[in-house]
Structure 1
Amino acid sequence: MQFFPIFLRSEGARIVVSGGGETALAKLRLLLKTRARIAVHAAEADPKILDWQAEGRLSWVARPVEAADLDGARLVYAATDDAAEDARVAGLARAAGVLFNIVDNREDSAFITPAMVDRDPVVVAIGTEGAAPVLARKIKAGLEAWLPAGLGARVRAANAFRPEAEALPQGRARRGFWAAVFDGALDGRAPEPLDRLLEAHKAARPAVGEVLFVGAGPGDPDDLTMRARRALDRADVVIHDRLVPAPILELARREAEIVEAGKTGFGPSTPQEEINRLIVGRAAEGLVVVRLKAGDPSVFGRLDEEIEACEAAGIAWSVVPGLTAASAAAASLGQSLTRRGRNSDLRVLTGHDVNGLADHDWATLARPGAVAAIYMGKRAARFLQGRLMMHGAEAATPVSVVENAGRPEERILAATLGTLATEIASTELTGPAVILLGLAPRAAARSLPLLQEAAR
């Protein structure tokens, strides 16, 4: 992040604008929305600037900026359209320790002005660090269409109502009230009177905890479902697997407690009984607990055990499905998991279970055209290879190994059943991987290079 986004207090602050033409006008239209004291320095000024001066909205000084003009200034805009003059003014500001912006010159500016959506006091700033201003304008237009014009009035009324809302207990009860205050504010529904909402929440029963078993998908935040995003926004506590990456955890509310309850294959793991106690214990405190699992909660996620713990404790629960790694891996290969005339079923398997290497219906899996997604199979590769070939599978059967499926750091290893164990052993696959038996990458499936080709 080259430019750090902040909101500066403008009330009473001095802002100096160097320039009196169209470039300066564009900045002044924005600055005049603030409560700052604005001084414009220019030998000649556009008539509009003179009108604003007559209205008492700014002051115009009919000469260029001098060093003494920057005493006590908060911001300086160099907007003369003269590169040499703008550089001179920027130098004065730098010497005075004042933040400055040279309009349309990101490289030499100390700060830049983002695109803004103004629903005062709701202000959304959109920045691309000057790299894509057209994109920023498109995002701004989308947000302006989404945020109704009356949103600011609702926010101001809510802010004035804060002392009354303190009658509710802190935490979930008060947060629920404020969520109800803005419920419907973004879809045009008529808002319910604040005093009526407050009385309804005072009369409500004490909060009862619940558990949401949420699928985080393969790891890319863009693969999260809308339901998963909403669940993270509600969560008081997020108990997550080791495979859930930081960008997804960052989508949780800032106030939410984040707890790792990871399991590592053949390594340190949080005992399942401890996880169950943690889930039930936090929900029993009246909290919304999101049990965040990589992929889909119902695929090798010990979902049933955790649901049974909730049921035994009388805790309400629900499941939010997610995109499982097998689907993401197949998408990366450009392949379908099922295909007419090739395979009428799909097997989803684990390479090892609580008893060690997992046994399966090898004869069925060895048939020509069979497709299987094998989770947690890296260490079991030689065992899988041996069992399948022992039951008649051809050594030339295509096999793909997709590491970190769906993530930016994804890698694809194209192999055959006969070379699978050797190639996995010779390749440093450190991330979670899915083995797709019977599928090979399509040549133009992804722009990412295949790991096998890159290793040559």
Structure 2
Amino acid sequence: MRHFPVFLNVADRRVIVSGAGECAIAKLRLLLKTEANIFVYGTNAETQVRVWSAEGKLTLVERALKAGDADEAAMLYAANEDDVEDARVAQIGRDAGALTNIVDNLEDSQFITPAIVDRDPVTIAIGTEGAAPVLARRIKADIESRLPASLGILARIGQAFRGRADMLPQGRIRRDFWSRYYEGAGDAALQAGGEKAVNETLNDLLTDAIETRPREGHVSLIGTGPGDPDLLTLKARRLLHEADVVLHDQLVPQAILELARREAIVIEVGKKGYGPSWKQEDINALMIKHAKKGAQIARLKSGDPAIFGRLDEELDALDEAAIAFDIVPGITSASAAAATIGISLTRRGRNSSLRIITGRETQGFAEHEWRELAKEGSAAAIYMGLRAASFLRGRLLMHGASADTPVTAVENVSRSNQKIISTTLAELPDALNAASITGPAVLLYGLSPRDAVAASTALETTPELYTAGAL
């Protein structure tokens, strides 16, 4: 992030626009929404600038900006559409201590003006670091279509009510009060009876919040999928945003954690194979501790919590502590990997069933029905199988599996650094070593990429490494 987004208080402060042409008008349309004292310097002012000046909305000074004009100014826009003149006035602004912006000159500007969605006093600023103004406008249009025009009125009424609402204790009770107001009750009252009805509704909601028994602690065990935030369910997003405490596995990426509220307590309780890990009993104790304080907890688990996620151990602990919970499924790595390589996990005439197995158990290598798995046409999704690749190959070959059985490994499935390795059972350990796999990976035994995908990436008969970006 090159430009740090802030909201600058310009009420009754001097803001300068150097230039009075079309370029300046574009900035003035936005600045006139503020409470700043706007001064425009320039000759041959456009008619619109003169109209605004006559209406008292700004002060027009019909000459070029000079030293001293920018003293005590909060901001200065250089909008002369002349590189030399813009550089000159920008230097005057910088010397005076004003933040300066040279229109259409990102490199020499101290700040940039974002696209803005205005629902005063609610303001949403959208920036793309100057890289894609068209994209910023598209996002702006999308957000504007989602936010009702009444939002500004509701926010203004709510702002005036904050003093009374502050009698509620900070935390969940106060947030629930405002959530009820902004997520339906306020707008319904406004439509039914105007601002008077809104204030009556706020009083009713406040009375309910004071008299209502505090919400008991609750744990939502949420599958976050393979890592791509776009693959989260809507319910997962909502619960994550509402959570007071977020406890997450090590594999849950930062992009998903950033969906939590800024005020939420976020703790990594990672369990890492063959490395330092949180003990399961300590994770259980931490969940129970926060839940008994009334916290709403989002327990984030990579993939789907019901597949090799030690879900039952945590549910048993919550049951024993009499703490309510719910389970939110997530997309498991096998499904995401199959989608990535363009195949289904089952197919008539190829495999009518799929085993989901693990290459590792607490006490060592997992034991499976190797003879059944080795039969032609069998398929399996193997989790945590990287370190066990040689063992898996040996067991399957020993029980009759063909050396040519296809195996596809997908590392960091769905993420930007995803890798796909298409190989055979005989070559599996060597292919994984050659690809330098370090991240989490799922092995799709008996499954290979769709022919069209394979052709598009020029796969050879020998193991070939290719990335998701090439798909």
Secondary structure of the residue aligned to 2:297 is: strand
Distance 1:448 1:405 in 2: 17
Per-residue CA distance 1:373-424 (angstroms, 9 max, x = gap): 0001111111111111112111011101111111111111221000112222
Q: Residues 370-381 of structure 1: matches in 2 within 5 Å?
A: 370-381=378-389
Q: State the shift of 1:365 in Å.
A: 1.2
| Aligned residue identity for 2:464 | Q
Matched, 1:401 2:409: yes
Per-residue CA distance 1:90-149 (angstroms, 9 max, x = gap): 222233332211222223222111110000011011111111111111111111111111
Give the one of 317, 320, 323 matched to 2:328. 320
Query: 1:231 is matched with which residue?
Result: 239
Per-residue CA distance 1:200-235 (angstroms, 9 max, x = gap): 111111220000000111112222111111111111
Q: CA contact under 8 A between 2:71 and 2:97: conserved in structure 1?
A: no
Q: State the shift of 1:198 in Å.
A: 0.6
- Same amino acid, percent of matched pairs: 55
Q: State the shift of 1:327 in Å.
A: 1.2
Q: State the shift of 1:68 in Å.
A: 1.2
Matched, 1:13 2:13: yes
**For structure 1, which segment, 44-53 or 137-146, has the greater mean C-alpha deviation from structure 2 after superposition?**
44-53
| Aligned residue identity for 1:136 | A
Distance 1:213 1:423 in 2: 36
Q: State the shift of 1:44 in Å.
A: 1.7
Distance 1:84 1:185 in 2: 55
Unpaired runs of at least 5, structure 1: none
Distance 1:453 1:149 in 2: 52
Q: CA contact under 8 A between 2:72 and 2:96: conserved in structure 1?
A: no
Per-residue CA distance 1:330-352 (angstroms, 9 max, x = gap): 12212211112111111110001
Q: State the shift of 1:443 in Å.
A: 5.8
Q: CA contact under 8 A between 2:220 and 2:299: conserved in structure 1?
A: yes
Matched, 1:302 2:310: yes
Distance 1:358 1:238 in 2: 31
Secondary structure of the residue aligned to 2:184 is: coil
Per-residue CA distance 1:35-78 (angstroms, 9 max, x = gap): 10111111121222222222221111110111111111111111
Per-residue CA distance 1:413-456 (angstroms, 9 max, x = gap): 2210001122224442211110110122346549889893479x
**For structure 1, which segment, 216-225 or 61-70, has the greater mean C-alpha deviation from structure 2 after superposition?**
216-225
Q: Residues 126-275 of structure 1: matches in 2 within 5 Å?
A: 126-184=126-184, 189-190=188-189, 193-275=201-283
Query: 1:100 is matched with which residue?
Result: 100
Per-residue CA distance 1:123-180 (angstroms, 9 max, x = gap): 0111111111111111111111111111011111111111211222221111111111
Secondary structure of the residue aligned to 1:377 is: coil
Give the one of 394, 414, 419 matched to 2:422. 414
Q: CA contact under 8 A between 2:419 and 2:465: conserved in structure 1?
A: no
Query: 1:362 is matched with which residue?
Result: 370
Query: 1:383 is matched with which residue?
Result: 391
Query: 1:334 is matched with which residue?
Result: 342
Q: State the shift of 1:285 in Å.
A: 1.0
Give the one of 358, 371, 378 matched to 1:350. 358
Q: CA contact under 8 A between 2:15 and 2:38: conserved in structure 1?
A: yes
Q: State the shift of 1:185 in Å.
A: 7.2
Q: State the shift of 1:184 in Å.
A: 2.1
1:185 to 1:85, Cα distance in 2 relative to 1, 3 A: farther
Distance 1:399 1:306 in 2: 33
Unpaired runs of at least 5, structure 2: 191-197
Per-residue CA distance 1:229-251 (angstroms, 9 max, x = gap): 11111111111111112221121
**For structure 1, which segment, 92-101 or 346-355, has the greater mean C-alpha deviation from structure 2 after superposition?**
92-101
Q: CA contact under 8 A between 1:151 and 1:185: conserved in structure 2?
A: no
Distance 1:365 1:109 in 2: 64
TM-score by length of 1: 0.95
Secondary structure of the residue aligned to 1:385 is: helix
Distance 1:448 1:195 in 2: 64
Q: Residues 75-90 of structure 1: matches in 2 within 5 Å?
A: 75-90=75-90
TM-score by length of 2: 0.92
Secondary structure of the residue aligned to 1:353 is: coil
Matched, 1:392 2:383: no
| Aligned residue identity for 1:411 | K
Q: CA contact under 8 A between 1:373 and 1:437: conserved in structure 2?
A: yes
Query: 1:65 is matched with which residue?
Result: 65
Q: CA contact under 8 A between 1:351 and 1:357: conserved in structure 2?
A: yes
Distance 1:252 1:289 in 2: 11
Distance 1:346 1:403 in 2: 20
Number of matched pairs: 454
Secondary structure of the residue aligned to 1:53 is: helix
Moved over 6 A (4+): 446-451
| Aligned residue identity for 1:311 | D
| Aligned residue identity for 1:175 | R
Query: 2:122 is matched with which residue?
Result: 122
| Aligned residue identity for 2:19 | G
Q: CA contact under 8 A between 1:332 and 1:445: conserved in structure 2?
A: no
The root-mean-square deviation of aligned C-alpha atoms, in Å, is 1.9
Query: 1:44 is matched with which residue?
Result: 44
**For structure 1, which segment, 25-34 or 362-371, has the greater mean C-alpha deviation from structure 2 after superposition?**
362-371
